[in-house]
Amino acid sequence: MPQYGYSIYGLDPDRTAIASAREIDISPKAAREICNTIKGMFLDKAKEYLEDVIVMKKAVPYKRHKKHVAHRKELTKWPAGRFPIKAAKRILEVLDNAENNAEFKGLDVERMKIIHACTHKGMIVKRFFPRAHGSSSPKFNYLTHIEIAIEEV
């Protein structure tokens, strides 16, 4: 069993709370775009934003992985975007965990700001399904790690 750490160091434990999720079955690209969007937001605004993404009211701007991504009229300052519902649900769960960790430490949840939100590619689940004439085609499943750190402002 691997031991995972965090990619952020030097946090003040009296003012910060962290949470992570490992080997989640969501798209690494969608998770990256969501994390870049919510980084720097206050906790309540980020949770509200992710709930709007889940009900398809607000789109997530795709800034790096933007090839063949349709334009969305609800986006400002950036044309391309999507509604990554599955990834938004999982990241919302990690945000809730970070909020619970902050509450357990006795921090003020209304003044929490996301200072670190990142994703890393996890394990690749390799499968093959049979085709005609004894051949097969690969079917790979990419898993994702999520890390979130919040700080009391």
Q: How far apart are CA 114 and CA 150, in angstroms?
A: 4
* The pLDDT value given to residue 2: 82
Domain ranges of the chain: 20-152
pLDDT tens per residue, range 44-97: 999 999 999 999 999 999 999 999 999 999 898 899 999 999 999 999 999 999
* The pLDDT value given to residue 1: 74
Say which DSSP state 77 is in.
S
Which amino acid does the sequence have at 112? M
pLDDT tens per residue, range 104-144: 999 999 999 999 999 999 999 999 999 999 999 999 999 99
> Options 3.50.50.60, 3.40.50.620, 2.40.50.460, 3.90.470.10; which CATH number does 20-152 get?
3.90.470.10
Q: How far apart are CA 107 and CA 89, in angstroms?
A: 24
